[in-house]
Structure 1
Amino acid sequence: MKILSIQSAVAHGHVGNSAAVFPLQRIGVEVLPVYTVTFSNHTGYGSWRGPLIAPSDVHEVILGIEERGVFPEIDVVLSGYQGSEGIADVILDAVARVKAANPDAIYACDPVMGNAVSGCFVAPAIPDLLRDRVVPAADLVTPNQFELGFLTGTSPDTIASTLEAADLVRASGPETVLVTSVARPDRPEGTIEMLVVNGDGAWLVQTPMIGMKANGSGDVTAALFTAHYRATGDAQAALARTTSSVFDLLQRTHDAGSRELLLVESQEAYAHPRLQFDVARVR
Protein backbone atom coordinates (compact mmCIF):
# COMPACT_ATOMS: atom_id res chain seq x y z
CA MET A 1 0.00 0.00 0.00
CA LYS A 2 1.12 3.54 -0.76
CA ILE A 3 -0.27 6.61 0.99
CA LEU A 4 0.30 10.20 -0.13
CA SER A 5 0.11 12.06 3.20
CA ILE A 6 -0.24 15.84 2.98
CA GLN A 7 0.23 17.22 6.48
CA SER A 8 2.36 19.39 8.75
CA ALA A 9 5.77 18.37 10.08
CA VAL A 10 7.66 19.23 13.27
CA ALA A 11 11.26 18.58 14.27
CA HIS A 12 10.54 18.07 17.97
CA GLY A 13 7.63 15.86 18.95
CA HIS A 14 4.98 14.11 16.93
CA VAL A 15 2.05 15.76 15.15
CA GLY A 16 0.90 15.71 11.52
CA ASN A 17 3.20 13.70 9.30
CA SER A 18 5.66 13.54 12.19
CA ALA A 19 3.03 11.47 13.98
CA ALA A 20 1.50 9.57 11.07
CA VAL A 21 4.44 8.41 8.98
CA PHE A 22 6.32 6.11 11.36
CA PRO A 23 3.31 4.07 12.57
CA LEU A 24 2.27 3.58 8.96
CA GLN A 25 5.77 2.46 7.99
CA ARG A 26 5.87 0.10 10.97
CA ILE A 27 2.80 -1.73 9.67
CA GLY A 28 4.30 -2.01 6.20
CA VAL A 29 2.84 1.00 4.41
CA GLU A 30 4.92 3.03 1.96
CA VAL A 31 4.31 6.70 2.79
CA LEU A 32 4.97 9.68 0.55
CA PRO A 33 4.95 12.59 3.02
CA VAL A 34 4.31 16.07 1.68
CA TYR A 35 4.73 18.87 4.22
CA THR A 36 2.51 21.91 4.62
CA VAL A 37 4.62 23.45 7.41
CA THR A 38 8.02 22.68 8.90
CA PHE A 39 7.92 23.88 12.49
CA SER A 40 10.34 23.37 15.34
CA ASN A 41 7.50 21.97 17.49
CA HIS A 42 3.71 21.86 17.57
CA THR A 43 1.79 25.00 18.36
CA GLY A 44 0.50 23.68 21.68
CA TYR A 45 3.66 25.04 23.29
CA GLY A 46 2.53 28.58 22.50
CA SER A 47 5.66 29.43 20.53
CA TRP A 48 7.46 27.80 17.65
CA ARG A 49 9.78 28.58 14.76
CA GLY A 50 9.81 27.66 11.11
CA PRO A 51 7.86 28.36 7.96
CA LEU A 52 4.41 27.74 6.62
CA ILE A 53 5.00 26.32 3.17
CA ALA A 54 3.23 28.26 0.44
CA PRO A 55 0.41 26.31 -1.20
CA SER A 56 2.13 26.82 -4.55
CA ASP A 57 5.26 25.12 -3.22
CA VAL A 58 3.23 22.21 -1.80
CA HIS A 59 1.61 21.89 -5.22
CA GLU A 60 5.04 21.82 -6.89
CA VAL A 61 6.18 18.94 -4.67
CA ILE A 62 3.04 16.98 -5.56
CA LEU A 63 3.53 17.66 -9.27
CA GLY A 64 7.09 16.37 -8.94
CA ILE A 65 5.78 13.12 -7.48
CA GLU A 66 3.27 12.86 -10.31
CA GLU A 67 6.06 13.34 -12.85
CA ARG A 68 7.86 10.31 -11.42
CA GLY A 69 4.86 8.19 -12.51
CA VAL A 70 3.88 7.26 -8.97
CA PHE A 71 0.21 8.29 -8.95
CA PRO A 72 -1.16 5.00 -10.42
CA GLU A 73 0.41 3.20 -7.43
CA ILE A 74 -1.09 5.43 -4.73
CA ASP A 75 -3.94 3.82 -2.81
CA VAL A 76 -4.82 6.67 -0.45
CA VAL A 77 -4.47 10.42 -0.22
CA LEU A 78 -4.49 11.39 3.46
CA SER A 79 -4.79 14.93 4.82
CA GLY A 80 -4.98 16.45 8.28
CA TYR A 81 -4.57 19.92 9.77
CA GLN A 82 -4.87 22.60 7.10
CA GLY A 83 -2.97 25.68 8.17
CA SER A 84 -4.17 27.97 5.40
CA GLU A 85 -7.13 28.21 3.04
CA GLY A 86 -5.00 27.63 -0.05
CA ILE A 87 -3.92 24.16 1.04
CA ALA A 88 -7.45 22.84 0.50
CA ASP A 89 -7.26 23.58 -3.22
CA VAL A 90 -3.88 21.85 -3.42
CA ILE A 91 -5.20 18.77 -1.63
CA LEU A 92 -8.37 18.54 -3.70
CA ASP A 93 -6.33 18.90 -6.90
CA ALA A 94 -4.01 16.12 -5.72
CA VAL A 95 -6.98 13.87 -4.96
CA ALA A 96 -8.42 14.45 -8.43
CA ARG A 97 -5.07 13.72 -10.08
CA VAL A 98 -4.46 10.56 -8.06
CA LYS A 99 -7.97 9.25 -8.71
CA ALA A 100 -7.59 9.94 -12.42
CA ALA A 101 -4.46 7.79 -12.39
CA ASN A 102 -5.90 5.14 -10.05
CA PRO A 103 -9.71 5.05 -9.87
CA ASP A 104 -9.50 2.67 -6.89
CA ALA A 105 -7.68 5.23 -4.75
CA ILE A 106 -9.52 6.87 -1.86
CA TYR A 107 -9.27 10.21 -0.09
CA ALA A 108 -9.14 10.10 3.73
CA CYS A 109 -9.66 13.46 5.43
CA ASP A 110 -9.13 14.25 9.09
CA PRO A 111 -11.15 17.50 9.31
CA VAL A 112 -9.12 19.11 12.08
CA MET A 113 -10.87 22.11 13.64
CA GLY A 114 -10.62 21.77 17.41
CA ASN A 115 -12.00 19.78 20.31
CA ALA A 116 -14.51 20.00 23.13
CA VAL A 117 -11.89 21.22 25.62
CA SER A 118 -9.99 23.81 23.56
CA GLY A 119 -12.74 24.83 21.17
CA CYS A 120 -11.88 25.75 17.58
CA PHE A 121 -8.16 26.42 17.03
CA VAL A 122 -7.88 26.80 13.26
CA ALA A 123 -8.17 29.93 11.11
CA PRO A 124 -11.75 31.23 10.99
CA ALA A 125 -12.32 30.28 7.35
CA ILE A 126 -11.12 26.68 7.69
CA PRO A 127 -14.19 25.03 9.32
CA ASP A 128 -16.59 26.27 6.64
CA LEU A 129 -14.11 25.30 3.93
CA LEU A 130 -13.82 21.79 5.35
CA ARG A 131 -17.57 21.39 5.68
CA ASP A 132 -18.53 22.79 2.30
CA ARG A 133 -15.74 21.66 -0.02
CA VAL A 134 -13.24 19.25 1.49
CA VAL A 135 -15.33 16.75 3.44
CA PRO A 136 -17.81 16.20 0.56
CA ALA A 137 -14.86 15.16 -1.64
CA ALA A 138 -13.63 12.55 0.85
CA ASP A 139 -14.33 8.82 0.95
CA LEU A 140 -13.38 8.51 4.62
CA VAL A 141 -13.49 11.21 7.30
CA THR A 142 -12.28 11.01 10.90
CA PRO A 143 -13.78 13.89 12.92
CA ASN A 144 -13.88 13.96 16.69
CA GLN A 145 -17.30 14.44 18.26
CA PHE A 146 -16.84 18.22 18.48
CA GLU A 147 -15.92 18.45 14.79
CA LEU A 148 -18.81 16.17 13.84
CA GLY A 149 -21.16 18.66 15.51
CA PHE A 150 -19.81 21.54 13.44
CA LEU A 151 -19.93 19.59 10.19
CA THR A 152 -23.60 18.78 10.72
CA GLY A 153 -24.89 21.75 12.73
CA THR A 154 -25.98 19.36 15.47
CA SER A 155 -24.97 18.58 19.06
CA PRO A 156 -24.27 14.84 19.07
CA ASP A 157 -23.99 13.51 22.62
CA THR A 158 -25.77 10.14 22.60
CA ILE A 159 -25.16 7.07 20.47
CA ALA A 160 -28.36 7.78 18.55
CA SER A 161 -27.56 11.44 17.87
CA THR A 162 -23.96 10.64 16.96
CA LEU A 163 -25.17 8.00 14.50
CA GLU A 164 -27.62 10.52 13.02
CA ALA A 165 -24.86 13.11 12.66
CA ALA A 166 -22.53 10.56 11.03
CA ASP A 167 -25.31 9.72 8.57
CA LEU A 168 -25.63 13.41 7.71
CA VAL A 169 -21.92 13.53 6.91
CA ARG A 170 -22.22 10.37 4.83
CA ALA A 171 -25.08 11.93 2.89
CA SER A 172 -22.75 14.80 1.91
CA GLY A 173 -20.25 12.46 0.22
CA PRO A 174 -18.02 10.27 2.42
CA GLU A 175 -18.84 6.56 2.55
CA THR A 176 -17.25 6.01 5.97
CA VAL A 177 -17.11 8.15 9.11
CA LEU A 178 -14.89 7.41 12.10
CA VAL A 179 -15.91 9.52 15.12
CA THR A 180 -13.25 9.86 17.81
CA SER A 181 -13.50 11.17 21.38
CA VAL A 182 -17.14 10.15 21.74
CA ALA A 183 -18.22 11.24 25.21
CA ARG A 184 -21.88 10.44 25.87
CA PRO A 185 -23.30 11.37 29.28
CA ASP A 186 -24.49 7.82 30.04
CA ARG A 187 -21.18 6.10 29.40
CA PRO A 188 -19.40 4.45 32.36
CA GLU A 189 -17.31 6.92 34.33
CA GLY A 190 -13.69 7.16 33.25
CA THR A 191 -14.26 5.85 29.71
CA ILE A 192 -14.13 7.24 26.18
CA GLU A 193 -15.36 5.76 22.90
CA MET A 194 -14.87 5.66 19.14
CA LEU A 195 -17.59 4.95 16.60
CA VAL A 196 -17.32 3.97 12.94
CA VAL A 197 -20.24 4.15 10.53
CA ASN A 198 -20.45 2.97 6.93
CA GLY A 199 -22.99 1.48 4.57
CA ASP A 200 -22.72 -1.92 6.25
CA GLY A 201 -23.44 -0.78 9.81
CA ALA A 202 -21.95 0.93 12.84
CA TRP A 203 -19.52 -0.24 15.51
CA LEU A 204 -18.53 1.20 18.89
CA VAL A 205 -15.47 0.59 21.03
CA GLN A 206 -14.94 1.78 24.61
CA THR A 207 -11.65 2.20 26.46
CA PRO A 208 -10.50 3.72 29.74
CA MET A 209 -9.92 7.44 29.42
CA ILE A 210 -6.28 8.37 29.92
CA GLY A 211 -6.05 11.74 31.62
CA MET A 212 -3.56 13.62 29.48
CA LYS A 213 -3.39 16.05 26.59
CA ALA A 214 -1.87 14.08 23.74
CA ASN A 215 -1.03 16.27 20.76
CA GLY A 216 -0.77 14.10 17.67
CA SER A 217 -2.84 11.18 18.91
CA GLY A 218 -5.63 12.06 16.46
CA ASP A 219 -3.11 12.07 13.61
CA VAL A 220 -1.95 8.58 14.57
CA THR A 221 -5.54 7.39 14.88
CA ALA A 222 -6.55 8.71 11.46
CA ALA A 223 -3.47 7.23 9.80
CA LEU A 224 -3.73 3.76 11.32
CA PHE A 225 -7.48 3.44 10.82
CA THR A 226 -7.17 4.58 7.22
CA ALA A 227 -4.46 2.03 6.47
CA HIS A 228 -6.18 -0.88 8.23
CA TYR A 229 -9.52 -0.10 6.63
CA ARG A 230 -8.04 0.32 3.16
CA ALA A 231 -6.17 -2.96 3.52
CA THR A 232 -9.09 -5.03 4.81
CA GLY A 233 -12.34 -3.27 3.95
CA ASP A 234 -13.45 -4.35 7.43
CA ALA A 235 -14.45 -1.37 9.58
CA GLN A 236 -14.84 -3.45 12.74
CA ALA A 237 -11.40 -5.01 12.45
CA ALA A 238 -9.79 -1.66 11.56
CA LEU A 239 -11.41 -0.07 14.61
CA ALA A 240 -10.20 -2.86 16.90
CA ARG A 241 -6.60 -2.69 15.69
CA THR A 242 -6.45 1.11 15.74
CA THR A 243 -7.96 1.41 19.20
CA SER A 244 -5.56 -1.13 20.65
CA SER A 245 -2.51 0.54 19.13
CA VAL A 246 -3.44 4.09 20.10
CA PHE A 247 -4.46 3.17 23.63
CA ASP A 248 -1.13 1.45 24.28
CA LEU A 249 0.72 4.43 22.77
CA LEU A 250 -1.13 6.82 25.08
CA GLN A 251 -0.73 4.59 28.13
CA ARG A 252 3.02 4.30 27.63
CA THR A 253 3.30 8.06 27.13
CA HIS A 254 1.21 8.79 30.23
CA ASP A 255 3.10 6.32 32.41
CA ALA A 256 6.38 7.94 31.40
CA GLY A 257 5.10 11.44 32.14
CA SER A 258 6.14 12.53 28.65
CA ARG A 259 4.89 15.77 27.10
CA GLU A 260 5.30 14.21 23.65
CA LEU A 261 4.00 10.89 22.35
CA LEU A 262 6.46 8.02 22.79
CA LEU A 263 5.90 7.13 19.17
CA VAL A 264 9.01 5.08 18.49
CA GLU A 265 9.03 3.31 21.86
CA SER A 266 5.47 2.13 21.24
CA GLN A 267 6.10 0.62 17.82
CA GLU A 268 5.19 -2.95 18.78
CA ALA A 269 1.69 -1.71 19.57
CA TYR A 270 1.24 -0.83 15.89
CA ALA A 271 2.89 -3.94 14.47
CA HIS A 272 1.26 -6.38 16.91
CA PRO A 273 -1.83 -4.81 18.52
CA ARG A 274 -3.11 -6.70 21.55
CA LEU A 275 -6.78 -6.37 20.49
CA GLN A 276 -7.75 -5.99 24.14
CA PHE A 277 -11.02 -4.10 23.54
CA ASP A 278 -14.31 -5.48 22.29
CA VAL A 279 -15.94 -3.78 19.34
CA ALA A 280 -19.73 -3.89 19.52
CA ARG A 281 -22.11 -3.54 16.62
CA VAL A 282 -24.62 -0.79 17.41
CA ARG A 283 -26.55 -0.81 14.12
Structure 2
Amino acid sequence: MKILSIQSAVAYGHVGNSAAVFPLQRIGVEVLPVYTVNFSNHTGYGSWRGPLISPDDVREVITGIEERGVLSEIDVVLSGYQGGEGIGEVIIDAVARVKAANPTAIYACDPVMGNAKSGCFVAPAIPQLLRERVVPAADIITPNQFELGYLTGTEPKTLKETLAAVDVARAMGPSAVLVTSVEQPHRDSSTIEMLAVDERGAWIVETPLLPMKANGSGDVTAALFTAHYRSSRDASDALARTTSSVFDLLERTHLSCERELQLVEAQESYAHPRMQFSARQVR
Protein backbone atom coordinates (compact mmCIF):
# COMPACT_ATOMS: atom_id res chain seq x y z
CA MET A 1 0.00 0.00 0.00
CA LYS A 2 1.17 3.53 -0.82
CA ILE A 3 -0.23 6.62 0.90
CA LEU A 4 0.28 10.21 -0.23
CA SER A 5 0.10 12.09 3.07
CA ILE A 6 -0.34 15.88 2.81
CA GLN A 7 0.15 17.31 6.30
CA SER A 8 2.26 19.54 8.51
CA ALA A 9 5.71 18.58 9.76
CA VAL A 10 7.70 19.48 12.87
CA ALA A 11 11.35 18.87 13.72
CA TYR A 12 10.71 18.37 17.44
CA GLY A 13 7.82 16.21 18.56
CA HIS A 14 5.11 14.40 16.68
CA VAL A 15 2.15 16.00 14.92
CA GLY A 16 0.92 15.86 11.33
CA ASN A 17 3.23 13.87 9.10
CA SER A 18 5.74 13.77 11.94
CA ALA A 19 3.17 11.66 13.81
CA ALA A 20 1.55 9.72 10.97
CA VAL A 21 4.45 8.56 8.81
CA PHE A 22 6.39 6.30 11.18
CA PRO A 23 3.42 4.24 12.47
CA LEU A 24 2.33 3.71 8.86
CA GLN A 25 5.81 2.61 7.86
CA ARG A 26 5.95 0.30 10.88
CA ILE A 27 2.86 -1.58 9.61
CA GLY A 28 4.38 -1.91 6.15
CA VAL A 29 2.90 1.07 4.34
CA GLU A 30 4.97 3.10 1.87
CA VAL A 31 4.36 6.79 2.62
CA LEU A 32 4.98 9.76 0.35
CA PRO A 33 4.92 12.71 2.80
CA VAL A 34 4.16 16.17 1.44
CA TYR A 35 4.59 18.98 3.96
CA THR A 36 2.30 21.99 4.37
CA VAL A 37 4.44 23.60 7.08
CA ASN A 38 7.95 22.91 8.34
CA PHE A 39 7.98 24.11 11.94
CA SER A 40 10.43 23.62 14.77
CA ASN A 41 7.63 22.30 17.01
CA HIS A 42 3.85 22.26 17.19
CA THR A 43 2.04 25.50 17.94
CA GLY A 44 0.72 24.28 21.30
CA TYR A 45 3.99 25.49 22.83
CA GLY A 46 2.98 29.06 22.08
CA SER A 47 6.08 29.84 20.01
CA TRP A 48 7.69 28.14 17.05
CA ARG A 49 9.94 28.84 14.11
CA GLY A 50 9.95 27.81 10.48
CA PRO A 51 7.92 28.45 7.36
CA LEU A 52 4.40 27.89 6.22
CA ILE A 53 4.74 26.29 2.81
CA SER A 54 2.75 28.14 0.19
CA PRO A 55 -0.05 26.31 -1.63
CA ASP A 56 1.85 26.83 -4.89
CA ASP A 57 4.93 25.14 -3.46
CA VAL A 58 2.87 22.23 -2.10
CA ARG A 59 1.30 21.86 -5.55
CA GLU A 60 4.77 21.87 -7.12
CA VAL A 61 5.88 18.99 -4.91
CA ILE A 62 2.81 16.97 -5.90
CA THR A 63 3.41 17.80 -9.56
CA GLY A 64 6.98 16.55 -9.18
CA ILE A 65 5.67 13.27 -7.77
CA GLU A 66 3.24 13.07 -10.69
CA GLU A 67 6.13 13.56 -13.11
CA ARG A 68 7.80 10.47 -11.69
CA GLY A 69 4.77 8.51 -12.92
CA VAL A 70 3.80 7.14 -9.50
CA LEU A 71 0.31 8.57 -8.98
CA SER A 72 -1.15 5.38 -10.45
CA GLU A 73 0.53 3.45 -7.62
CA ILE A 74 -1.02 5.52 -4.81
CA ASP A 75 -3.83 3.78 -2.95
CA VAL A 76 -4.75 6.54 -0.49
CA VAL A 77 -4.49 10.30 -0.21
CA LEU A 78 -4.48 11.33 3.45
CA SER A 79 -4.83 14.87 4.76
CA GLY A 80 -5.05 16.46 8.20
CA TYR A 81 -4.96 20.02 9.54
CA GLN A 82 -5.47 22.61 6.80
CA GLY A 83 -4.03 25.96 7.74
CA GLY A 84 -5.71 27.93 4.97
CA GLU A 85 -8.11 27.78 2.06
CA GLY A 86 -5.34 27.47 -0.51
CA ILE A 87 -4.04 24.19 0.88
CA GLY A 88 -7.56 22.73 0.80
CA GLU A 89 -7.84 23.42 -2.91
CA VAL A 90 -4.41 21.87 -3.52
CA ILE A 91 -5.47 18.72 -1.66
CA ILE A 92 -8.72 18.45 -3.63
CA ASP A 93 -6.75 18.82 -6.86
CA ALA A 94 -4.26 16.16 -5.73
CA VAL A 95 -7.11 13.76 -4.96
CA ALA A 96 -8.55 14.32 -8.42
CA ARG A 97 -5.17 13.68 -10.04
CA VAL A 98 -4.56 10.51 -8.05
CA LYS A 99 -8.02 9.14 -8.76
CA ALA A 100 -7.64 9.90 -12.46
CA ALA A 101 -4.42 7.84 -12.44
CA ASN A 102 -5.82 5.13 -10.15
CA PRO A 103 -9.63 4.92 -10.01
CA THR A 104 -9.47 2.55 -7.04
CA ALA A 105 -7.64 5.09 -4.86
CA ILE A 106 -9.46 6.66 -1.92
CA TYR A 107 -9.21 9.95 -0.05
CA ALA A 108 -9.16 10.02 3.76
CA CYS A 109 -9.68 13.41 5.40
CA ASP A 110 -9.17 14.25 9.05
CA PRO A 111 -11.30 17.42 9.22
CA VAL A 112 -9.37 19.14 11.99
CA MET A 113 -11.31 22.10 13.39
CA GLY A 114 -11.23 21.92 17.17
CA ASN A 115 -12.52 20.00 20.15
CA ALA A 116 -15.16 20.17 22.85
CA LYS A 117 -12.85 21.85 25.37
CA SER A 118 -11.16 24.42 23.13
CA GLY A 119 -13.92 25.05 20.60
CA CYS A 120 -13.11 25.77 16.96
CA PHE A 121 -9.50 26.91 16.53
CA VAL A 122 -9.10 27.13 12.75
CA ALA A 123 -9.53 30.13 10.45
CA PRO A 124 -13.20 31.09 9.98
CA ALA A 125 -13.23 30.00 6.32
CA ILE A 126 -12.02 26.45 7.03
CA PRO A 127 -15.25 24.86 8.36
CA GLN A 128 -17.17 26.05 5.31
CA LEU A 129 -14.41 24.82 3.01
CA LEU A 130 -14.46 21.43 4.69
CA ARG A 131 -18.24 21.13 4.55
CA GLU A 132 -18.69 22.31 0.99
CA ARG A 133 -15.56 21.16 -0.85
CA VAL A 134 -13.35 18.78 1.09
CA VAL A 135 -15.70 16.36 2.87
CA PRO A 136 -17.80 15.73 -0.27
CA ALA A 137 -14.58 14.65 -2.03
CA ALA A 138 -13.60 12.25 0.78
CA ASP A 139 -14.19 8.52 1.03
CA ILE A 140 -13.24 8.38 4.73
CA ILE A 141 -13.45 11.13 7.35
CA THR A 142 -12.16 10.93 10.91
CA PRO A 143 -13.67 13.80 12.94
CA ASN A 144 -13.89 13.90 16.69
CA GLN A 145 -17.40 14.17 18.14
CA PHE A 146 -17.20 17.97 18.29
CA GLU A 147 -16.01 18.24 14.68
CA LEU A 148 -18.74 15.87 13.55
CA GLY A 149 -21.30 18.23 15.04
CA TYR A 150 -19.63 21.24 13.46
CA LEU A 151 -19.64 19.60 10.04
CA THR A 152 -23.27 18.50 10.21
CA GLY A 153 -24.84 21.42 12.08
CA THR A 154 -25.80 19.17 15.00
CA GLU A 155 -24.76 18.74 18.64
CA PRO A 156 -24.42 14.98 19.06
CA LYS A 157 -24.13 13.73 22.61
CA THR A 158 -25.87 10.36 22.91
CA LEU A 159 -24.99 7.39 20.75
CA LYS A 160 -28.28 7.77 18.88
CA GLU A 161 -27.53 11.44 18.14
CA THR A 162 -23.97 10.64 17.09
CA LEU A 163 -25.14 7.92 14.71
CA ALA A 164 -27.69 10.33 13.23
CA ALA A 165 -24.96 12.93 12.71
CA VAL A 166 -22.78 10.30 11.03
CA ASP A 167 -25.65 9.57 8.64
CA VAL A 168 -25.77 13.27 7.75
CA ALA A 169 -22.00 13.27 7.18
CA ARG A 170 -22.13 10.14 5.02
CA ALA A 171 -24.88 11.73 2.92
CA MET A 172 -22.36 14.49 2.11
CA GLY A 173 -20.08 12.00 0.34
CA PRO A 174 -17.86 9.81 2.57
CA SER A 175 -18.73 6.13 2.76
CA ALA A 176 -16.89 5.52 6.05
CA VAL A 177 -16.68 7.68 9.18
CA LEU A 178 -14.52 7.25 12.27
CA VAL A 179 -15.64 9.40 15.21
CA THR A 180 -13.03 9.88 17.91
CA SER A 181 -13.43 11.26 21.45
CA VAL A 182 -17.03 10.12 21.79
CA GLU A 183 -18.26 11.19 25.23
CA GLN A 184 -21.81 10.06 25.92
CA PRO A 185 -23.50 11.98 28.77
CA HIS A 186 -24.20 8.93 30.95
CA ARG A 187 -20.95 7.07 30.36
CA ASP A 188 -18.51 6.16 33.12
CA SER A 189 -16.41 9.34 33.34
CA SER A 190 -13.23 7.26 33.41
CA THR A 191 -13.91 5.98 29.88
CA ILE A 192 -14.02 7.31 26.33
CA GLU A 193 -15.20 5.74 23.07
CA MET A 194 -14.55 5.63 19.32
CA LEU A 195 -17.19 4.84 16.71
CA ALA A 196 -16.73 3.52 13.16
CA VAL A 197 -19.53 3.45 10.61
CA ASP A 198 -19.72 2.30 7.00
CA GLU A 199 -22.34 0.78 4.73
CA ARG A 200 -22.11 -2.54 6.57
CA GLY A 201 -22.89 -1.23 10.04
CA ALA A 202 -21.65 0.68 13.07
CA TRP A 203 -19.23 -0.38 15.80
CA ILE A 204 -18.09 1.27 19.01
CA VAL A 205 -15.15 0.58 21.30
CA GLU A 206 -14.58 1.79 24.86
CA THR A 207 -11.22 2.42 26.52
CA PRO A 208 -10.05 3.95 29.77
CA LEU A 209 -9.72 7.75 29.57
CA LEU A 210 -6.15 8.72 30.38
CA PRO A 211 -5.69 12.06 32.23
CA MET A 212 -3.54 13.72 29.58
CA LYS A 213 -3.50 15.79 26.42
CA ALA A 214 -1.45 14.36 23.59
CA ASN A 215 -0.88 16.50 20.52
CA GLY A 216 -0.64 14.32 17.44
CA SER A 217 -2.62 11.36 18.74
CA GLY A 218 -5.47 12.19 16.36
CA ASP A 219 -3.03 12.18 13.44
CA VAL A 220 -1.81 8.70 14.41
CA THR A 221 -5.39 7.50 14.83
CA ALA A 222 -6.51 8.77 11.44
CA ALA A 223 -3.48 7.29 9.71
CA LEU A 224 -3.71 3.83 11.27
CA PHE A 225 -7.48 3.52 10.86
CA THR A 226 -7.25 4.57 7.22
CA ALA A 227 -4.52 2.04 6.45
CA HIS A 228 -6.22 -0.82 8.29
CA TYR A 229 -9.59 -0.05 6.73
CA ARG A 230 -8.13 0.25 3.24
CA SER A 231 -6.41 -3.10 3.72
CA SER A 232 -9.29 -5.09 5.19
CA ARG A 233 -12.46 -3.14 4.32
CA ASP A 234 -13.57 -4.24 7.79
CA ALA A 235 -14.53 -1.27 9.97
CA SER A 236 -14.79 -3.39 13.11
CA ASP A 237 -11.31 -4.86 12.73
CA ALA A 238 -9.77 -1.51 11.72
CA LEU A 239 -11.38 0.13 14.77
CA ALA A 240 -10.15 -2.55 17.18
CA ARG A 241 -6.60 -2.53 15.77
CA THR A 242 -6.35 1.24 15.79
CA THR A 243 -7.75 1.55 19.30
CA SER A 244 -5.35 -1.07 20.64
CA SER A 245 -2.32 0.63 19.08
CA VAL A 246 -3.24 4.19 20.01
CA PHE A 247 -4.17 3.35 23.60
CA ASP A 248 -0.81 1.67 24.17
CA LEU A 249 0.94 4.69 22.62
CA LEU A 250 -0.97 7.05 24.90
CA GLU A 251 -0.44 4.92 27.99
CA ARG A 252 3.30 4.72 27.34
CA THR A 253 3.39 8.49 26.83
CA HIS A 254 1.44 9.10 30.04
CA LEU A 255 3.73 6.85 32.08
CA SER A 256 6.81 8.57 30.64
CA CYS A 257 5.66 11.97 32.01
CA GLU A 258 6.85 13.47 28.72
CA ARG A 259 4.79 16.03 26.82
CA GLU A 260 5.46 14.56 23.37
CA LEU A 261 4.13 11.24 22.11
CA GLN A 262 6.52 8.35 22.71
CA LEU A 263 6.07 7.41 19.08
CA VAL A 264 9.23 5.40 18.52
CA GLU A 265 9.13 3.69 21.91
CA ALA A 266 5.61 2.40 21.19
CA GLN A 267 6.41 1.01 17.75
CA GLU A 268 5.61 -2.61 18.58
CA SER A 269 2.07 -1.48 19.39
CA TYR A 270 1.55 -0.58 15.73
CA ALA A 271 3.28 -3.60 14.24
CA HIS A 272 1.78 -6.12 16.68
CA PRO A 273 -1.28 -4.63 18.42
CA ARG A 274 -2.37 -6.53 21.53
CA MET A 275 -6.04 -6.40 20.43
CA GLN A 276 -7.01 -5.80 24.05
CA PHE A 277 -10.19 -3.94 23.02
CA SER A 278 -13.05 -5.36 20.99
CA ALA A 279 -15.54 -3.43 18.93
CA ARG A 280 -19.26 -3.84 19.72
CA GLN A 281 -21.75 -3.58 16.91
CA VAL A 282 -24.40 -0.93 17.60
CA ARG A 283 -26.24 -0.93 14.28
Within 2, Cα distance between the matches of 1:211 and 1:166? 27
Within 2, Cα distance between the matches of 1:57 and 1:171? 33
Within 1, Cα distance between the matches of 2:238 and 2:47? 36
Within 1, Cα distance between the matches of 2:11 and 2:262? 14
Amino acid across the alignment from 2:218? G
Amino acid across the alignment from 1:271? A
Amino acid across the alignment from 1:228? H
Partner of 1:271: 271
Could you list the per-position Cα deviations for residues 53-88 of structure 1 after superposition, in whole angstroms to 9, with x for gaps in the alignment?
A: 000000000000000000010000000000111001
Partner of 2:72: 72
Amino acid across the alignment from 1:135? V
Q: Percent identity?
A: 77
Partner of 1:87: 87
Partner of 2:57: 57
User: Could you tell me the TM-score, scaled by structure 1's length?
Assistant: 0.99
Partner of 1:204: 204
Partner of 2:159: 159
Partner of 1:169: 169
Within 1, Cα distance between the matches of 2:258 and 2:85? 33
Partner of 2:144: 144
5+ unaligned residues in a row in structure 1: which ranges? none
User: How far off its partner does 1:189 sit?
Assistant: 2.4
SS, match of residue 197 in structure 1: strand
SS, match of residue 33 in structure 1: strand
Amino acid across the alignment from 1:53? I
Partner of 1:27: 27
User: Could you tell me the TM-score, scaled by structure 2's length?
Assistant: 0.99
SS, match of residue 276 in structure 1: coil
Could you list the per-position Cα deviations for residues 13-64 of structure 1 after superposition, in whole angstroms to 9, with x for gaps in the alignment?
A: 0000000000000000000000000000000001100000000000000000
Give the alignment of 1:166-245 within 5 angstroms: 166-245=166-245
Within 1, Cα distance between the matches of 2:194 and 2:263? 21
Report the count of equivalent residues.
Answer: 283
Amino acid across the alignment from 1:117? K
Partner of 2:106: 106
Amino acid across the alignment from 2:208? P
SS, match of residue 112 in structure 1: coil
Within 1, Cα distance between the matches of 2:164 and 2:234? 21
Moved segments of 4+, more than 4 Å: none
Amino acid across the alignment from 2:20? A
Within 1, Cα distance between the matches of 2:266 and 2:81? 23
Partner of 1:44: 44
User: How far off its partner does 1:128 sit?
Assistant: 1.0
Within 1, Cα distance between the matches of 2:185 and 2:90? 39
Amino acid across the alignment from 1:206? E
Superposition CA RMSD, Å: 0.5
User: How far off its partner does 1:111 sit?
Assistant: 0.1
Within 2, Cα distance between the matches of 1:193 and 1:161? 14
Larger mean Cα displacement after TM superposition, 119-128 or 265-274:
119-128
Could you list the per-position Cα deviations for residues 148-202 of structure 1 after superposition, in whole angstroms to 9, with x for gaps in the alignment?
A: 0000110000000000000000001000000000000111220000001111000
Within 2, Cα distance between the matches of 1:256 and 1:70? 40
Within 1, Cα distance between the matches of 2:45 and 2:127? 23
Partner of 1:282: 282
Within 2, Cα distance between the matches of 1:189 and 1:126? 32
Within 2, Cα distance between the matches of 1:62 and 1:123? 24
Partner of 1:116: 116
Partner of 1:127: 127
Within 1, Cα distance between the matches of 2:11 and 2:119? 26
Within 1, Cα distance between the matches of 2:216 and 2:34? 17
Amino acid across the alignment from 2:45? Y
SS, match of residue 275 in structure 2: coil
Within 1, Cα distance between the matches of 2:253 and 2:71? 36
Within 1, Cα distance between the matches of 2:240 and 2:32? 26
